[in-house]
Amino acid sequence: MPVELFGTLAQTLFKTMDRTGSTVDVPDLMERWTLDAIGKAGFGFDFHALEEPNNKWVMMYNSIMAGHEDRFYDYLPFLEQRFLWLFPGRRKLHQKLTEFLAMLDDIIVHKREALEKRIPNPHLQENEKDLLTLMIESELNGEGAMSNEELKSNLCVFFVAGHDTTANALSFAIYYLAANQDVQRKAREEVTRILGDEPVDVLPTVEQIKNMDYLNMVIKETLRLNSPAGEIFPRVVTQDTELAGTLLPKDTWVLLDIYNLHRNSRLWQNPDKFDPERFAPGNEAERKAGSGMYWIPFSSGARQCIGMNFSLAEQRVLLSMLLRKFTWTLPENSIHADELLSTNRPLQGPFDLEITFKKRY
């Protein structure tokens, strides 16, 4: 797991925060940080998202995702499939998507050239390889060849799932730590006990982040309340099936509503309350373990999110380094002063979240 890379990127984030001032747009910064992380660790490519305010990748991606906020085309997909010329706004979105895919093509071409010249990923340790390298090497070794189109499709999945969901999870965690100062203090006490409290950046190791039990509880509770993927993609029932007394006829589309599962009062005590202690040893979450799927922000089973450990490592490293370097609060005029406001299109994320940070060193 490239935790050293995550730590180095956290230091780059701190420099960006120095330039932006004490009150920052948290979702924007988290999106840029996770984009650089998946770029370097996943593709061996530096997006420079943190260093460039008008970064072309960030601007392009945000414009495409904004276009997906309109549910109209979800319900009537045939309109854009057959009559795209009638919808200039949607046509422009398709043009941007074509440009984006061409940019991904360039990444694949550059990676193939680097592998031919035996140039390693400069962002990872010698014993680590990025995802794109592994996919292309598998092709070269005859272990599952993929066309460029298939490679590009996989890059699209990793691009979205590998940065946007974690960015939203980090933004939610930063909000909850701002809104619950006692939790923030307790998390900081644990982090400084493990990493020390000297006035200098410390890059956590894999073993150190594994020992951050309370911080892990904070992350789990954040993901319970606000799983960035609030729904699991639908599945089609292949035969008539009875589930918990309900008949699901063949060809029915079934979708798992994670958001409401995690807030179900029949499953969780005070489900809308942010309480990391419910994940403490012997408490509510542990007692439920093994008795059903009560906590599934990454889904479960054979199709569980393959990036789960990558995402959790990102969150532990960045949050621990933030806790050592800063204290933070909601601004006095915050729209989130009374409650957290969020959006679920296209992914679950906080709405216009600004946080005021104060350096500890």
Residue 249: inside a domain: no
How many degrees, rounded to 5, is the angle at CA 294 between CA 292 and CA 295? Answer: 125
Count CB atoms within 10 A of the CB of residue 120. 15
Give the pLDDT confidence score for residue 289 in this predicted structure.
Answer: 66
Burial group, residue 25, by CB count within 10 angstroms (0-12, 13-18, 19+): middle
Give the pLDDT confidence score for residue 345 in this predicted structure.
Answer: 59
d(CA 284, CA 268): 8
**How many separate domains does the chain show?**
1
With bands split at pLDDT 50, 70 and 90, how would you rate the model's confidence at 95? Answer: confident
Q: Span 283-297, mean pLDDT?
A: 79
Residue 105: inside a domain: yes
Find the domain containing 88 and state its range.
3-225+308-359
- Residue 71, pLDDT > 70, answer no
Residue 242: inside a domain: no
Q: For residue range 155-197, what is the model confidence (pLDDT) as tens digits?
A: 888 887 778 889 999 999 999 999 999 999 999 999 999 999 9
Outline where the chain has alpha helix (H): 3-20, 26-38, 56-67, 72-75, 77-82, 88-116, 131-140, 148-161, 164-179, 181-195, 206-210, 213-225, 258-262, 284-288, 308-325
Q: For residue range 118-129, what is the model confidence (pLDDT) as tens digits?
A: 887 888 887 788
Computed over every residue of the chain, the mean pLDDT equals: 87
Give the pLDDT confidence score for residue 230 in this predicted structure.
Answer: 66
Say if residue 156 carries a ligand binding annotation.
no
With bands split at pLDDT 50, 70 and 90, how would you rate the model's confidence at 346? Answer: low
Residue 33: inside a domain: yes
Residue 291: inside a domain: no
With bands split at pLDDT 50, 70 and 90, how would you rate the model's confidence at 321? Answer: very high
Phi, psi of 325, deg, nearest 5:
-90, -25
Give the pLDDT confidence score for residue 291 in this predicted structure.
Answer: 63
Predicted TM-score of the model (pTM): 0.88
Residue 230: inside a domain: no
Phi, psi of 290, deg, nearest 5:
85, -10
- Residue 227, pLDDT > 90, answer no
Which is more confident, 52 or 345? 52
Give the pLDDT confidence score for residue 258 in this predicted structure.
Answer: 87
- Contacts for 181-189 with beta carbons within 8 Å, 24 or more apart? 181/329, 183/218, 183/274, 183/276, 184/323, 184/327, 184/328, 186/214, 187/214, 187/215, 187/218, 187/319, 187/323, 188/323, 188/324, 188/327
- Residue 34, pLDDT > 90, answer yes
Q: Output the six-digit token pair for 78.
A: 């045939």
d(CA 257, CA 212): 30
Cis omega (within 30 of 0) for bond into 346:
yes
Residue 237: inside a domain: no
- Residue 290, pLDDT > 70, answer no
Give the pLDDT confidence score for residue 72 in this predicted structure.
Answer: 67
CATH number, domain of 352, equals 1.10.630.10
Give the pLDDT confidence score for residue 123 in this predicted structure.
Answer: 83
With bands split at pLDDT 50, 70 and 90, how would you rate the model's confidence at 94? Answer: confident
Residue 15: inside a domain: yes
Give the pLDDT confidence score for residue 62 in this predicted structure.
Answer: 82
Give the pLDDT confidence score for residue 116 in this predicted structure.
Answer: 83
